Structure 1
Amino acid sequence: MSKPFLIPLLLSLLGSPVAQAMDYRIETLSEGLEFPWSLAFLPDGRMLVTERVGRLRLIEADGRLDPEPVSGVPEAFVAAQAGLMEVALDPEFARNQWVYLSYAHGSEQANNTRLARGRLVEGELQDVKVLFTAQPLKTGAAHYGGRIAFLPDQTLVLTLGDGFDWREDAQNPGNHLGKIVRLNRDGSVPADNPLRDQAGAAPEIYSLGHRNVQGIFYDAEAGRLYSHEHGPRGGDELNLIEAGRNYGWPLVTQGVDYTGALISPYTTLPGLQPPLLHWTPSVAPSSLTQYRGALFPQWQGDLFAATLAERSVRRIRLLDGKLAGEDVLFEELGERIRDVRSGPDGALYLLTDNAKGRVLKVVPAD
């Protein structure tokens, strides 16, 4: 065996991330999107895509972008990281047509993450209702979280951020900063939320001690809820989320401040949940999915994390529910990847994060 092949093989066996062989082809399905943020597949083969600048777009199954945005979308606060974020379909969308949106709400002086839903009817959102607004409202335009996942009981979890300048509040159970919240689909609070009966605690909280959670996915086969979050300089995390747990930020971290200053001398502390893995240096994870298609049997059941700083997608290999190493994919694009989704057709779909954003479709090379 020659040395060029020996080194990657050894790294793979040791569990280190390596670039995977090109057994795929990347196609441009659609373009002309302005900072696309989130993708959802409609039952009829079309797609919904949010643009951070505040628009919800319809894309036909053949990739044609509808020139007119969906009307009736709530107005978002758009600045820096703020804007329209996640789009997610109700588990019973075929019956009720509910579409959920997360977005930054308010002004530069007073804003936070908001969740709303409306019925998608002939290119329009109707009966739009605000379900939740994270509190307190704060200044600035950073760290909103914004990803949504549905649990088997058809409640939903919404990821949030610490607002950047309010990181100590991630440990404060009295507000929503640096938390994951769990809601009924109508916005009410589930009776069994872990902190609901705790005096002074925000009843919506499902977990706390987070920085900026921009990836969440429920593995229905294993019954596990995975998330990832941005660290500061280093310390991006993949976590297994359990009700009522504290994930440590900023009491523990593998990263340092952007100035190089120490945030905490601790990487672990009793009672705080350690990450399944951390990325140091930071890769800036922006979206999380699990592959359950038929086109890439070698990817079956693995997690995929889109990244912004690394300009890649991390394939996180799972074996019997345990981490079994990573592969770095799609670096040849040289693109910040905002969203990654496992499509109903077995392809993997990517959103590129720029002013001329695209929807990319990953299919087998053959």
Structure 2
Amino acid sequence: MSSNKHYLPVALLAGAVSLWASCTPKETATEAVSDSAVLETERMSISVDTLHSDFESPWGMTWLSDGRMLVTERKGEILIFKDDKFTGEKVQGLPAVHVVNQAGLLDVAAHPKHAENGWIYIAYAKNFEDSTGATTIMRFKLDGNTAVEQEDLITAGPSWKGGRHFGSRIVFDNEGHLYFSNGDKGDTPMNAQTLSNAHGKVHRINDDGSIPADNPFVDSTDAVKSIWSYGNRNPQGLYFDKANNILWETEHGPKGGDELNIIEKGKNYGWPVITYGINYNGTILAEFTEKAGMEQPIHYWVPSIATCGLTVVTSDKYPNWKGNILVGALAKQHIARVVLKDNKLVAEEKLLPGIGRVRQVAESPDGYLYAITEGTGLLVKILPAN
């Protein structure tokens, strides 16, 4: 473990981003949409405190009501931190996971009323005897450092060979509903348009795993009852904005076409019928970028930055960034600060370029920003320089 603090002006770390215009994948026109005046006004000097530097594929993080922080590693472990330091302890007794490529132990989230009920939730790829896996939501409590009272709440089937596009994030809304994401599994993109399977969707359940009576497809005979939205390729970012009652999502496009979406009840987000991306071999994947009955992203990236976890800055500790969306970039190895006005892009800034593959960025209960990275294996705390 290491702790190294260094002060860097964000003006030196970041630059305005040129983004592709709204065009079909066949076109090549670009349009600079970042407002440099906005970026200059909102720049902040920050310090970056490295709290841990020895992770192996970290994925999710959450804070418990007693102040401890949990960080998952995809191989199937949860590390325990206290006062920003690794305690040397890990959660014991967790289930075996299907660890293949992107599949494994993914997100972790404390129940909003954790102080009262003690529940902790994980999203993991459940391992089946035929060597397949399926995104599963489980809850448990801690007895010391041991996971007890374990309950699998829902499995997003069918189970799948391989390890592509498992999602998955967990968030809670203001009424205590749990949302989780599940990717299309890669091999069969049209899974995302098929309501009879759980792939390529955002799902909504009650905190005990039961299905809310007002879910959009509960009365559809062949539909998976937990589906909240569909047409989502591989959503690896979810955030519920409790102040504005908005569910934000980021999802990976193919080659280009990463998306930032507002997820709403029963809506179709288009994959793979519409996309701003192309096939990895450069050929056209979808003829159109828009279609009636399918939602447009709030913002998209061409080329891809490989969007992952996201948060909305609510803390007064970052006054210039308050209300901005921070998005982890895996391929481009930075944090994207997205500035919106009336849910339309005003500006975008690259924070901490080169820090590593940013898997998750989150705001702690006491209002500080944290990020975890793959490759470099870091847990960092982002502090205002003053």
Indicate whether the TM-score tops 0.5: yes
Candidates 113, 120, 128, aligned match of 1:92: 113
Q: 1:326 to 1:308 in 2, by over 3 A?
A: same
Q: TM-score, normalised by structure 1?
A: 0.92
Structure 1 residue 287 displacement after superposition:
0.2
SS of residue paired to 1:95? helix
Deviation digits for residues 109-139 of structure 1 (CA, Å, limit 9, x no counterpart): 4212111000122111110000011111121
Deviation digits for residues 149-186 of structure 1 (CA, Å, limit 9, x no counterpart): 11111111110100000111110011101011110111
Candidates 235, 259, 265, aligned match of 1:237: 259
Number of residue pairs matched? Answer: 357
Give the alignment of 1:175-190 within 5 angstroms.
175-190=197-212
Check the 8 A contact 2:17/2:350 in 1, yes or no.
no
Give the alignment of 1:163-202 within 5 angstroms.
163-202=185-224
**Quick one: distance in 2 between partners of 1:23 and 1:68?**
34
Candidates 345, 361, 366, aligned match of 1:345: 366
Number of the residue aligned with 2:34 = 16
Structure 1 residue 306 displacement after superposition:
0.4
Residue 57 (structure 2) pairs with residue 39 (structure 1):
no
Number of the residue aligned with 2:172 = 150
**Quick one: distance in 1 between partners of 2:344 and 2:379?**
31
Check the 8 A contact 1:315/1:326 in 2, yes or no.
yes
Check the 8 A contact 2:313/2:321 in 1, yes or no.
yes
**Quick one: distance in 1 between partners of 2:84 and 2:336?**
27
Residue 334 (structure 2) pairs with residue 312 (structure 1):
yes
Check the 8 A contact 1:166/1:177 in 2, yes or no.
no
Give the alignment of 1:212-361 within 5 angstroms.
212-333=234-355, 335-354=356-375, 357-361=377-381
Check the 8 A contact 2:44/2:384 in 1, yes or no.
no
**Quick one: distance in 1 between partners of 2:35 and 2:48?**
21
Candidates 71, 84, 93, aligned match of 1:49: 71
Structure 1 residue 332 displacement after superposition:
4.5
Check the 8 A contact 2:261/2:299 in 1, yes or no.
yes
Deviation digits for residues 43-68 of structure 1 (CA, Å, limit 9, x no counterpart): 232210001110011011141x2323
**Quick one: distance in 2 between partners of 1:79 and 1:110?**
10
**Quick one: distance in 2 between partners of 1:103 and 1:55?**
11
**Quick one: distance in 1 between partners of 2:100 and 2:17?**
45
Deviation digits for residues 327-359 of structure 1 (CA, Å, limit 9, x no counterpart): 1111052x11111001223221010113x6121
Q: 1:198 to 1:27 in 2, by over 3 A?
A: same
**Quick one: distance in 2 between partners of 1:253 and 1:318?**
22
Structure 1 residue 22 displacement after superposition:
6.0
Structure 1 residue 10 displacement after superposition:
11
Check the 8 A contact 2:44/2:320 in 1, yes or no.
no
**Quick one: distance in 2 between partners of 1:114 and 1:168?**
21
**Quick one: distance in 2 between partners of 1:313 and 1:307?**
6
Name stretches of at least 5 consecutive residues in structure 1 with no aligned partner.
none
Structure 1 residue 69 displacement after superposition:
1.4
Q: TM-score, normalised by structure 2?
A: 0.88
SS of residue paired to 2:191? helix
Candidates 75, 80, 90, aligned match of 1:69: 90
SS of residue paired to 2:337? strand
SS of residue paired to 1:32? coil
**Quick one: distance in 2 between partners of 1:215 and 1:302?**
15
Structure 1 residue 11 displacement after superposition:
7.8
Deviation digits for residues 168-211 of structure 1 (CA, Å, limit 9, x no counterpart): 11100111010111101111111110011012111111000010
Deviation digits for residues 303-336 of structure 1 (CA, Å, limit 9, x no counterpart): 1100101101111113355432211111052x11
Residue 122 (structure 2) pairs with residue 104 (structure 1):
no
RMSD of aligned alpha carbons:
2.2
Check the 8 A contact 1:293/1:344 in 2, yes or no.
no
**Quick one: distance in 1 between partners of 2:16 and 2:347?**
12
Give the ranges of 4+ consecutive aligned residues of structure 1 lying more than 6 Å apart after TM superposition. 8-12, 17-20
**Quick one: distance in 1 between partners of 2:35 and 2:45?**
17
What letter matches 1:45 in structure 2? G
Percent of paired sites with the same residue: 38
Check the 8 A contact 2:298/2:344 in 1, yes or no.
no
